[in-house]
Amino acid sequence: MKSNILHIIQGGKGGTLEYLKQLLPLLNKDKYDITVICHGDIFCELKQLGFKVVNINMKRAISPLYDLKALLQINKYLKTHKTDLVHLHSSKAGFLGRLAAKWNRVPCIYNPHGWSFNIKTNSIKKNLYKLLEKVAVNWTDKIVAISGSEYQSALNEKICGSKKLILIENGIDISKYVFESDDVFKKQLGITEKERIVGMCARLSKQKDPLTFIEIAKCVTEQYPKCKFMLVGDGELREQVENKIKKLQLKEKVILTGWTSHPEKYINIFDIGVLTSIWEGFGLSLAEYMACGKPIVASRVDGIPFVVRDRIDGYLCEPGNIREFSNFIIKILKNDDLYKKISTTIVERAKNNFDINRVSKQHEKLYEELILHAKEY
């Protein structure tokens, strides 16, 4: 008999959605019947992809009235549908879903996907987020950390002890990425054979700091003219990014692709992959760059140093340091031997460490342990 697994996710397009889109199809369909509670863009996309979805709206910010409404709807679902395990993603869904699971005595797993208290915000909000996590941990069977940084952060902030934590590092579908450039696609985008591409695959949000990426583009292209920058993604800072491009007179040097269902097509034509995040639980795009053999220049924050080995897979910089990012990008662009050395190394690292098939197997093992334990009590 199949086990009924309920996933709950709050938010819009981004890394957490991509994580689910890659993980869910690999989970054993003979063993699990999977439903996802979600809303907005996530609901539409997962439904279009054929997943079983339930629409319950959750706001990202704390909103007592809306949060209570969402909590009651989740609780109603659990009361009316046999559920063997709840798997929660990100802080808002994590808090509401864990409380509802506790009320209904259903075992649950929580993926923070980057702790909310590590977000760059004021100390009052940070302390509130920590308090909420410490309260909700009492309703949690296991917390899945997606990076060594996230695991260690839980211990350092005394969110919980190591017995409640399990490290399952993020992964990608390695088979989607190829170690060769697509010259035809580059030509379609108006990029010449001699031009190098420095790209970033990221949501245009405060977290990813795309405005710094545009400043880096200005600095690099002034010193290395045969180069274009590409932003793959969209988000709430789109207008600010466009204004920055216009202000710095970079219209001919920066390409904005908008949202795409196939980021691998764009990453495949990058020469260098960049991530300018000011906080980051893991950074799925980093593993994607690696799978395509693209040297990386990224921020030295949170989970990134656990993914990118500084001066082996590329270079790590202080977030917001335009000159440091620019200097390392130019260094890689100008040194073919260095480029080839990094490129070969990171393809192997992606295969050995960041394969989504490994992630799915680890999750299935965890599901079985928790479901079996619940049946014994």
Produce one character per residue of 69-102: b if its CB has 16 or more CB atoms within 10 Å, e if not: ebbebbbebbeeeebbbbbbbbbbbbbbbbbbbe
Query: CB-based contacts of 361: which residues, under 8 Å, 6+ apart?
Result: none
The radius of gyration computed from the CA coordinates of the chain, to the nearest angstrom, equals 21
- Report the pLDDT averaged over residues 115-139: 86
Query: CB-based contacts of 289: which residues, under 8 Å, 6+ apart?
Result: 201, 267, 270, 273, 296, 346
Reply yes or no on whether the pLDDT at 335 is more than 90.
yes
Angle between helices 15-23 and 356-376 (to 10 degrees): 80
Cα 171 from Cα 167, distance rounded (Å): 12
Reply yes or no on whether the pLDDT at 352 is more than 60.
yes
Query: CB-based contacts of 371: which residues, under 8 Å, 6+ apart?
Result: 3, 84, 85, 107
Residues above pLDDT 70, as percent of the chain: 98
Sign, CA dihedral 306-307-312-318, equals: negative
pLDDT at 179: 62
pLDDT at 215: 97
Cα 45-46-47 angle, rounded to 5 deg? 90
Provide the token pair at 3. 């086990």
pLDDT at 13: 72
The domains of the chain, with CATH numbers, are 3-171+355-376 (3.40.50.2000), 174-353 (3.40.50.2000)
Residues above pLDDT 90, as percent of the chain: 73
pLDDT digits (tens, 9 = 90+) for 59-98: 877 788 999 999 999 999 999 999 999 999 988 999 999 9
- Is residue 177 within 8 A of residue 264, CB to CB? The reply is yes
Long-range contacts, stretch 182-186, CB < 8 angstroms, 24+ apart? 182/265, 182/268, 182/269, 185/265, 185/268, 185/269, 186/269
pLDDT digits (tens, 9 = 90+) for 220-273: 999 999 999 999 999 999 999 999 999 999 999 999 999 988 888 999 999 999
Reply yes or no on whether the pLDDT at 377 is more than 60.
no
